[in-house]
């Protein structure tokens, strides 16, 4: 698929400063609250004012984010009174296939900010000139859009994502070009009644781009350059690199997306390597996965807190995925009851194709968006539930649709993917993105992508259960001794957690009715089974809190 709809912006020419200051800037000397402005120390350099000192506070924030692997790099520009007064480049602009330092003239892909900066501005200019009205049906301007029950969708509903259309066009089938995208968008069928709910959709803005072109008589890139970018002196903001000097642009663009089919150069001759060399190569690539997960730790921590809060209020953690992603989700979900003695309803999974897809491939099911919506509707998600969608590409229709439906029903939604700015990320409240780079076996997401996502799910479920108090120290004190091996493990946990002898631990476990957490509280607090049970009920199963209250 080749179809560029996002803007490229270079920070080097002061776009941010000029845009924020409105061109000439406010020369009144007063802040919006009427108080005097605080002067910013500057000096003239090459006709522009620059700060005479650094910004240590801002520098520290950006450098910390780089150190913590939240971002690889950044360009900071500060505007004051219509001029750029401070600019600095930090870190790297590219990590793969090699490190490239961030520079002041780095060109950034604005991705979905294109909707705000370019398309929305263009539409509102046409509204301002009386050429378009917000409450008019889109079909008034684009008659071919009326097909498949879309004749009543308004311009306003496209702008506000209340059209009822899918989040994205079909990204599984290969297609190319703007006109093809327009035809596909016009042929879409709403998945819910227009105006009935919010669904973030790229299709909405593809159609709006077509509307701008039809009404103005200019292509969207030509219109925005003439009516938006040039008047605002945004001289290096455009949809695609120019024909003249294209190479100079390309080399300065900061990459923003991992291509799951990208070639792994180290594995180019994989079929000619020895068994040991193949093992070495896969092992070396796997060693990079932990770093990719490290970069996502702040988002993982946010997910942990949401899951713990939801479970504490009687909600559920519901995983949803297809293929490898669905099987990884199922594995984590089914391991929670034996590990933490949780109710099976607390952590659930939905896999495209149903339970049979666990044992046999059902990859065609991942394209069924309607099935994703229906499966999620059957679970009746609520505001206490957390629904986590997993897709290495971030484009799986089944998973995206399921997350959209869960969000519509009020659940907290999280995307887990290897691609930033994906449809899945846009469908969810926030995303955990593990950019692992190209696979040794090109496109095989069961390798590094699958490893990364298994690591993330391990973290989320284990940490959430720990936050709920189902772990004491680092011991599985909620383990249910349902066989001889687990019985001996429970006795060992009691000995280690409380310092009790083997005999005392065995007696306490028997007296507790083989309930390990009850036995822990009995031994640690010196109370009866009934008192330990009562303390655990008051603490909602939090073992450490139950011990403290029972003493």
- What is the C-alpha separation between 425 and 406, in angstroms, rounded? 14
CA distance 486 to 524: 21
pLDDT at 48: 44
Taking Cα atoms as reference points, which of 268, 328, 352 lies closest to residue 456? 328
- Summarize the confidence of residues 430-458 as an average pLDDT: 90
Residues 417 and 323 placed together within one structural domain of the fold: yes
How does DSSP classify residue 154?
B
pLDDT of residue 241: 80
Could you tell me the two tokens for 52? Answer: 């005479």
Q: From the candidates 63, 144, 218, 335, which is the catalytic residue? A: 335
Residue-range definition of the domain harbouring residue 509? 484-550
Catalytic residue at 335?
yes
The domain total for the chain is 4
Q: Please indicate, yes or no, whether residues 76 and 18 belong to a single structural domain of this protein.
A: yes
Q: Which contiguous run of DSSP H or E holds residue 9?
A: strand 8-10
Number of neighbouring beta carbons within 10 Å of residue 435: 21
433/419 Cα distance (integer angstroms): 6
Do 324 and 351 sit in the same domain of this protein?
A: yes
Pairing of strands 386-390, 317-321: parallel
User: Which pairs count as long-range contacts for 27-33, CB under 8 Å and 24+ apart, including other chains?
Assistant: 27/81
Q: CA angle 13-16-22, nearest 5°?
A: 110
Give the mean pLDDT of 349-365: 85
328 domain residue, yes or no: yes
The pair of three-digit structure tokens given for residue 85, joined into one six-digit string:
């007064």
pLDDT at 44 over 60: no
* 268 within a domain of the structure (yes/no): no
Asked whether residue 242 is domain-assigned, the answer is no
pLDDT of residue 7: 64
- Which secondary-structure segment (H or E) carries 45? strand 42-45
pLDDT surpassing 90 at residue 87 = no
Percent of the chain with pLDDT over 90: 59
3 state DSSP class of 261: coil
Shared domain for 401 and 424, answered yes or no, is yes
What is the distance, to the nearest Å, from the Cα of residue 57 to the centroid of all Cα atoms in its chain?
Answer: 28
Q: What pLDDT does residue 97 have? A: 66
| Tokens 């781009």 -> residue | 209
Among 81, 109, 137, residue at a domain's last position: 109
Both 374 and 506 in one domain: the answer is no
Residue found under tokens 């593990």: 434
Task: Work out the burial of residue 196: count CB atoms within 10 Å of its CB; fewer than 13 is exposed, 13-18 middle, 19 or more buried.
Answer: exposed
**pLDDT given at position 25:** 31
pLDDT value at residue 8: 62
The answer to the question of residue 253 being in a domain is: no
Same domain, 535 and 428: no
Lowest mean pLDDT among 6-10, 280-284, 402-406, 479-483: 6-10
Output the domain CATH number for residue 342.
3.40.50.10490
Angstrom CA distances, 141 to 136, 146, 208, 214, 219, stand at 9, 10, 10, 7, 15
Identify whether 365 is part of a domain. yes
Looking at 467, 495, 529, the residue that finishes a domain is 467
Q: What would the pLDDT profile of 273-312 be if each residue is shown by its tens digit? A: 899 988 998 898 888 899 889 989 999 999 999 999 999 9
User: Residue 520 sits in a domain of what CATH number?
Assistant: 1.10.8.1080
* Residue 354 and residue 307 share a domain: yes
Dihedral of CA 143/144/149/153: which sign?
A: negative
322 and 416 fall within a common domain: yes
Q: Flag whether the pTM goes above 0.85.
A: no
Q: What is the pLDDT of residue 47?
A: 42
Nearest C-alpha neighbor of 537 from the set 506, 509, 515? 515
Q: Pick from 418, 436, 467: which residue ends a domain? A: 467
Q: Are 56 and 19 contained in the same domain?
A: yes
Residue 340, pLDDT above cutoff 60: yes
Q: What is the pLDDT of residue 259?
A: 57
Burial of 376 (0-12, 13-18, 19+ CB in 10 A): buried
On whether residue 489 sits in a domain, the answer given is yes
Tell me the pLDDT tens digit for each residue of 147-162. Answer: 999 999 999 999 999 9
| 193 and 326 assigned to the same domain | no
**Same domain? 103 vs 119:** no
In a domain, 126, yes or no: yes
Asked if residue 260 belongs to a domain, the reply is: no
Nearest Cα neighbor of 366 from 398, 414, 342, 389 is 398
Select the highest-mean-pLDDT range: 17-26, 89-98, 230-239. Answer: 230-239
Measured from the Cβ of residue 313, the count of other Cβ atoms closer than 10 Å reads 11
**Of the listed 166, 188, 260, 366, which one is catalytic?**
366
Q: Is the domain of 313 the same as that of 418?
A: yes
Quote the mean pLDDT of the chain: 86
Choice between 90 and 5, residue whose per-residue pLDDT is larger = 90
């Amino acid at each position: 698929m080749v179809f560029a709809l996002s803007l490229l912006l270079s920070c080097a020419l002061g776009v941010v400063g000029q845009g924020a200051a409105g061109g000439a800037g406010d020369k009144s000397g007063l802040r919006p609250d009427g108080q005097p402005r605080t002067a910013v120390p500057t000096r003239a350099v090459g006709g522009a004012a620059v700060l005479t000192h650094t910004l240590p506070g801002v520098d520290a924030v950006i450098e910390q984010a780089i150190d913590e692997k939240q971002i690889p790099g950044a360009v900071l520009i500060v505007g004051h009174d219509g001029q750029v007064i401070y600019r600095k480049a930090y870190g790297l602009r590219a990590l793969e296939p090699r490190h490239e330092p961030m520079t002041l003239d780095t060109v950034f892909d604005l991705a979905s900010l294109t909707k705000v900066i370019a398309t929305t501005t263009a539409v509102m200019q046409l509204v301002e000139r009386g050429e378009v009205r917000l409450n008019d049906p889109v079909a008034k301007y684009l008659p071919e859009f009326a097909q498949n029950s879309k004749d009543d969708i308004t311009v306003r509903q496209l702008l506000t994502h209340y059209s009822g259309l899918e989040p994205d066009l079909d990204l599984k089938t290969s297609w190319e070009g703007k006109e093809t995208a327009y035809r596909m968008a016009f042929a879409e069928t709403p998945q819910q009644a227009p105006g009935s709910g919010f669904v973030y959709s790229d299709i909405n803005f593809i159609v709006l781009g077509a509307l701008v072109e039809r009404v103005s008589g200019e292509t969207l890139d030509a219109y925005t350059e003439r009516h938006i970018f040039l008047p605002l002196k945004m001289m290096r903001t455009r949809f695609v690199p120019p024909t003249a000097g294209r190479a100079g642009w390309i080399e300065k663009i900061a990459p923003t997306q991992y291509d799951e089919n990208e070639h792994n150069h180290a594995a180019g001759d994989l079929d000619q390597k020895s068994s040991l060399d193949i093992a070495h190569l896969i092992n070396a690539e796997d060693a990079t996965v932990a770093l990719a997960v490290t970069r996502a730790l702040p988002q993982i921590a946010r997910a942990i807190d949401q899951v713990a809060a939801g479970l504490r209020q009687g909600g559920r953690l519901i995983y949803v995925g297809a293929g490898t992603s669905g099987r990884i989700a199922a594995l984590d979900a089914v391991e929670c009851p034996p590990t933490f003695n949780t109710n099976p309803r607390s952590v659930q999974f939905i896999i495209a194709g149903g339970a049979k897809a666990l044992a046999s491939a059902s990859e065609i099911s991942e394209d069924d968006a309607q099935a994703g919506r229906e499966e999620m509707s059957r679970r009746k998600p609520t505001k206490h539930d957390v629904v986590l969608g997993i897709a290495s590409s971030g484009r799986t229709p089944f998973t995206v649709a399921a997350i959209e439906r869960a969000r519509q029903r009020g659940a907290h939604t999280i995307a887990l993917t290897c691609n930033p700015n994906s449809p899945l990320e846009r469908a969810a409240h926030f995303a955990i993105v593990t950019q692992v780079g190209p696979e040794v076996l090109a496109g095989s997401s069961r390798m590094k992508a699958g490893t990364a996502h298994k690591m993330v799910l391990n973290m989320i479920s284990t940490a959430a259960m720990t936050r709920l108090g189902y772990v004491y120290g680092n011991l599985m004190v909620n383990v249910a001794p349902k066989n001889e091996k687990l019985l001996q493990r429970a006795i060992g946990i009691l000995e280690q957690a409380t310092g009790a002898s083997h005999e005392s631990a065995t007696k306490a476990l028997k007296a507790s009715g083989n309930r390990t957490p009850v036995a822990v509280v009995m031994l640690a607090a010196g109370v009866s089974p009934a008192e330990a049970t009562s303390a655990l009920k008051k603490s909602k199963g939090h073992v450490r809190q139950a011990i403290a209250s029972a003493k």
